[in-house]
Structure 1
Amino acid sequence: MLTVVAFHLTPGALAGGYLGVDLFFVISGFLITALLLREREKTGRIRLFDFWRRRARRLLPALGILLLACCSAALLVGGNVLVGLGRQVLGAATFSSNWLSIAGEHSYFTESNPELFRNLWSLAVEEQFYLIWPLALLALLFVPKRSIRVGIVAVVAIGSAVAMALLHLPGGDATRVYYGTDTHSFGLAIGAVLALASQRWSTGPLSTPLGWSRWLRAAIPAVGLAAIGALLVLTVIMPADEPFAYRGGLALVSLLTAIAIAGAVLPGSLLGRGLDAQPLRWIGERSYGLYLWHWPVFVIVAASLPNLAPEGTGVWDPGAWAIGGIAFAITVVAAALSYRFVEQPIRRSGFRATFRSWFGGWWESFPRLAAGLVAVCLVAVAGTASVSAIVSDPGETDAQAIIEAGAAAIAPPPAPTTTSGNAPSAPAPTDLPGGDQIYAIGDSVMLASAPQLQLAFPGIAIDATVSRQLSAAPHIVQALKDSGALRPTLLLGLGTNGPIDAAALEQVRDIIGPRHQLILVSVQAPRGWTPGVNATLAVFAQQYRNVELANWRDAIAGNLRLLARDRIHPGDAGGKIYAGTVRDALQRLAELPPVLSANEYGLAPHPL
């Protein structure tokens, strides 16, 4: 879970930190299946209600404390953190957060609304697995051969991974396949496969498990260690916006995790002893609480301390690290207290016995009476505050309001001015092109700026949407060219939502050809990838005569107050600056001297 915490609390520092969720899925699938199989071997049956009761004791106490504490804090902070709170609490209480977000088209990757309990999607997937898998396992155990049982679950894992790959559209929003239990359960299934396959590993002597040779017993932990090394590399180099992540990448992570677990659980494995070291064990025991608390605390801290908001100066942005550090400290304390005083007592003794120990005999001494009254008052106040927070939902964040205003301002593009994708043969005019000569493709920042772009360039065609990545641009531009809707000037405002690849820019330029003008808009966002995006855009613009940079980043740097609280999306005044940077870029292109022929340079061959 530490990789996930680092991924969220230090934006841009660990590109693949989100992979920790997939590691946890595999571990959970393995542990739960192994537990159920051991119970079957020991008692001859699986007590479903006992299993579900144990899961409730493990998960519900910490979740309840989290919801009460963070909803109360959200009420104090107010504003954006209250948006969608009712839906999020409902999803948390019913373990359906992932499907409610999918149904409501709430993107996991959007920066315009950092939902307070967004991280609970994975808990929902886990709980759905806990509900369905024991029933499925009971049916599966009727299959006589263990190899067939393993094969059936392996087919389920493959089917889930294939579904993710087929349903994901490169360059599109990956929320559906990332949140979906059907498309993101392969890790849980792979863990179950390992548990079924390794069911009898621990039955033989430690020196000769399954009669394997000494070489093989040494090789498996070594391969497991190599798998851990590969996982660490992937957490650094595999960002969430890469299509590979959803077309085999996450499945590869799950397989590597299973290999690492196999190397650790083999009887006598030195790798297993190393991973069971006390510091790692302490973190592992509290990993559930660390995961629960880190994201809501981060959102609340960021909203409470707007003066510390990162400026988007890179991975080492001091504001980002300050907010992340404060959130991390609070998270560790909250997770430790929850584990010590709430989770462990209820897990060991159950709800009733724990409550009796807390409140039983409260009348016998004044300290116990005072503690009981304080506890009851705190719960009552937190419950009331949570309900008030849900009722106080403003409906949309300030960034969403700006984006929706921009979306409403976008009219359907006018009819194409040409019948083919070729640019007009006449030379570019010296005056600035009108809006009917410009086609704009962008993300939510361009969408927020759409009204001002329309005022500055009447007739401009704008195709902008939330969470769009640069990787989607080549497909969009190719479709425009094929349909004859491509205009002489292409405005590209992408890069807010993740790192970019210069190869995608090259693809766009190859599609439009050298006779079209291309304007790239730089990025303002408090994210670790922003400097890299802007550097790539600037270098690319310098390479080509028909490419220019609209320097939105520098233009708005001294006027961040004109942006929404996320320091990304401009309002009306910020939108005018955005449009102004585009106008300046067009002016620079218009003032370029015409290209001379070889003869005008005196380089053409003279006739003999």
Structure 2
Amino acid sequence: MTSLPSPTVPSDRFRVPGLDGIRALAVTTVIVFHLVPGTLIGGYLGVDIFFVVSGFLITTLLLRERVTTGRISLRGFWTRRARRLLPALALLLLACCTAALFVGGDVLVALGTQVVGAVTFSSNWLFIAQGASYFDETVPQLFRNLWSLAVEEQFYVVWPLLVVLVLVRIPRWAKLTAIAAIAVASAAWMGVSYSAVDPTRVYYGTDTHAFGLAIGAFLAVLLLGRGVAPLGEAPGGMTARVTRWTLGLAGPLAVGALIALAVLMSGDSDLTYRGGLALVAVLSAVAIAALTVPGSLLARTLDLAPIRWVGVRSYGLYLWHWPVFVLVGSALPTWPREGWEAAALGGIALAVTVVAAALSYRFIEQPIRRHGFRATARAVLDSAPRSRRALGAAFAMVLATGLAGTSIAALIADPGRGEAQAYIEAGQEAIDEAAPVAPVEDDAIASAAADAITTGDEITAIGDSVLLAAAPAMQTAYPGIAIDASVSRSMYAAPGILQAHAAAGTLRPVVVIALGTNGPIERSTLEEVRSIIGPSRELIVVNAQAPRGWIPGVNAELSSFALVYRNVELANWHDAIQPYLHEMARDQVHFGPIGAGIFAAAVTDAVDRLAALPPLRDESADLSLPTPF
């Protein structure tokens, strides 16, 4: 049996005890965020932790090579990066495209563009150019998670050039100043460019999301050649001792703060993009710095074998978890998305992910990373008996050709648009063809409150893509209704939208709000909505049906809110559609004509209940006051 040769290029392994634990924390938060929606509303911040780790490691490797060899080999660096990243990515693309061909449906939509983005490491910019939203679940993008890999790869291309051409030629203080300026500029640009309507542009953009990589690079320059001596040793004097104790305290606090933010920091909050993600990057850097204290408790804890096992396979786990979850969900469209069944669906995806990542790491990533593509292939062939080498080579060729062929077939089978997308576009066309909304007179609002029958010209409906899909049925039920709906909206957008309508004079006597699908709801937001529409208008809140972990909480909040106020009513869309889930699209969120009719009927029931309320005995009473119990 022929053994693999020794590596012919310098190793890019630079190990800080506990750093694999930081990787494990990052990938775990992301996986829980995706596979068990609603459990960790801030789990996406794991990507920003990865960015800091990457910036720190890559900058350290480059500068250490400069110190030890007197030069930096860009070719060697990029070769090692290719060996590290490309084999696992190629396996992922071939396997998941093949699986998508057999699953069919929406997972094939825009698959070619996603593959191009993956192989050119430009996914984030392609998604931005297409207007694809990170927060839109209308079409299940199979390789959506590769946007962050694209950001890192762009960093791997540009940053070594800057290090070689600029940073190694200037003093240490100038390096730190320049890198800090990049980090501050990127974070500030994210805050300035942020849009509450859809923050995807600033989230995907390399320019607006590079601060984590820069902060990691800053830490690398700060620490290089200035290691922290073990606790209790004399070198470094009082300053070094204080630094060790400070990091020993700050590190665990930083990790605790990261976990707390993963639990609490919603992606819908303005603060997330105006300092929140930058704070995550700073906390990650503090945690990494604390690991450099020799013998620290934090490093020993994060370096425990089970945690380290996850950390060293974090790249594969991150690659596989989202495509597998999308494929499993698409293959089981009627599987319940609430309760323990939803957790079971995520569990299936997790089991497949762990097995795929472990096998990829053991048999693909590690051999090629250490020994290169050719040497690994030659060793595998040489390890087989001569009588079976030709058969093994033929089998490998047939397998590779088959996977490539089925992947190409999957790209060709792209239906052009998803089932839910077709329903949404039909609703948008119906809204576009409707007559412009005219300003509402004050006396019309007063007279509408006394009507026993509510008509379409008395209703303003605000919603997301669910309301878009229901638009034709809503227009049939209420001719003349004013519908303002857009994909990916959440309840956080409602106050601003209502204020705009109120300022334009287009807010009608009855307001329907259908914004429960895309994220958790806070009572303060609902109270603000009620305050904006005023006591003379009636409000209908529509609850939600979606395979999202936050939906039970959203529906409970809306139901409780509707019970408190006399001029607020609940449209129970969730319960109305349960017997007819088979009529919905595969995403279990959107629907065709039958589902749209059921949605409109649920709203109609709520409108009629409000219209049928008897007048208060005291004509001066405020309809918006809480209902007495």
Question: TM-score per shorter chain, which class?
Answer: over 0.9
Q: Which runs of 5+ in 2 are unaligned?
A: 1-26, 622-629
1:279 counterpart = 2:306: yes
Match of 2:524 in 1: 503
Q: Give the counterpart letter for 1:149 in structure 2.
A: K
Which residue of 36, 54, 65 corresponds with 2:91? 65
Matched residue count: 593
Q: Give the counterpart letter for 2:521 in structure 1.
A: I
Which residue of 393, 402, 417 corresponds with 1:372? 393
Which residue of 133, 140, 143 corresponds with 1:114? 140
State the 1:143 CA deviation.
5.0
CA contact (8 A) 2:97 2:407 kept: yes
Which residue of 197, 203, 222 corresponds with 1:197? 222
The equivalences for 1:86-105 within 5 A come to: 86-105=112-131
CA contact (8 A) 2:229 2:240 kept: no
Q: Give the counterpart letter for 1:196 in structure 2.
A: V
Q: Closer, same or farther in 2 for the Cα pair 1:204/1:235, shift >3 Å? A: closer
Match of 2:604 in 1: 583
Q: Give the counterpart letter for 2:40 in structure 1.
A: L
CA contact (8 A) 2:440 2:507 kept: no
State the 1:108 CA deviation.
1.0
State the 1:507 CA deviation.
1.3
State the 1:56 CA deviation.
0.2
State the 1:278 CA deviation.
1.9
CA contact (8 A) 1:421 1:485 kept: no
Which residue of 249, 259, 265 corresponds with 1:238? 265
State the 1:276 CA deviation.
2.1
Distance 2:307 2:143 in 1: 26
State the 1:219 CA deviation.
2.4
Which residue of 455, 462, 484 corresponds with 1:463? 484
Secondary structure of the residue that 2:262 maps to in structure 1?
helix
Distance 2:524 2:444 in 1: 23
CA contact (8 A) 1:502 1:536 kept: yes
Distance 2:442 2:217 in 1: 53
Match of 1:359 in 2: 381
CA contact (8 A) 1:499 1:529 kept: yes
Which residue of 389, 392, 395 corresponds with 2:413? 392
CA-based RMSD: 1.9
CA contact (8 A) 1:421 1:483 kept: no
1:537 counterpart = 2:558: yes
Which residue of 260, 270, 281 corresponds with 2:287? 260
Residue deviations 1:254-284, cap 9 Å, x none? 1000000000013443322332222222211
Q: Give the counterpart letter for 1:229 in structure 2.
A: G
Secondary structure of the residue that 1:569 maps to in structure 2?
coil
Distance 1:99 1:111 in 2: 19
State the 1:485 CA deviation.
1.0
State the 1:109 CA deviation.
0.9
Residue deviations 1:107-154, cap 9 Å, x none? 111111121111100000000000000111123325533122111111
State the 1:371 CA deviation.
2.3
Q: Which runs of 5+ in 1 are unaligned?
A: 601-608
Q: Give the counterpart letter for 1:260 in structure 2.
A: A
Q: Give the counterpart letter for 1:516 in structure 2.
A: R
Q: Closer, same or farther in 2 for the Cα pair 1:107/1:406, shift >3 Å? A: same
The answer to which of 249-258 and 429-438 deviates more is 429-438
State the 1:418 CA deviation.
4.1
Secondary structure of the residue that 2:255 maps to in structure 1?
helix
CA contact (8 A) 1:143 1:149 kept: no
Distance 1:416 1:344 in 2: 62
Q: Give the counterpart letter for 2:280 in structure 1.
A: V
Q: Closer, same or farther in 2 for the Cα pair 1:201/1:562, shift >3 Å? A: same
The answer to which of 331-340 and 210-219 deviates more is 210-219
The equivalences for 1:328-347 within 5 A come to: 328-347=350-369
Distance 2:240 2:410 in 1: 62
Q: Closer, same or farther in 2 for the Cα pair 1:266/1:427, shift >3 Å? A: same
Residue deviations 1:487-519, cap 9 Å, x none? 111111101011011211111211111101111
Q: Give the counterpart letter for 2:175 in structure 1.
A: R
Match of 1:322 in 2: 344
Alignment TM-score, normalising by the size of structure 2? 0.91
Secondary structure of the residue that 1:558 maps to in structure 2?
helix
Q: Closer, same or farther in 2 for the Cα pair 1:457/1:271, shift >3 Å? A: same
Q: Give the counterpart letter for 1:297 in structure 2.
A: V
Residue deviations 1:71-125, cap 9 Å, x none? 1111111111111110010000000000000000111111111211111000000
The equivalences for 1:518-537 within 5 A come to: 518-537=539-558
CA contact (8 A) 1:438 1:491 kept: yes
Distance 1:156 1:208 in 2: 36
Residue deviations 1:454-504, cap 9 Å, x none? 111001111111100111111111111111111111111101011011211
The answer to which of 159-168 and 212-221 deviates more is 212-221
Q: Give the counterpart letter for 2:316 in structure 1.
A: G
CA contact (8 A) 1:416 1:484 kept: no
Secondary structure of the residue that 1:409 maps to in structure 2?
helix
Which residue of 16, 40, 53 corresponds with 2:66? 40
Match of 2:12 in 1: none
CA contact (8 A) 2:230 2:295 kept: no
Q: Give the counterpart letter for 1:334 in structure 2.
A: A
The answer to which of 367-376 and 297-306 deviates more is 367-376
Q: Closer, same or farther in 2 for the Cα pair 1:208/1:496, shift >3 Å? A: farther
Q: Closer, same or farther in 2 for the Cα pair 1:101/1:215, shift >3 Å? A: same
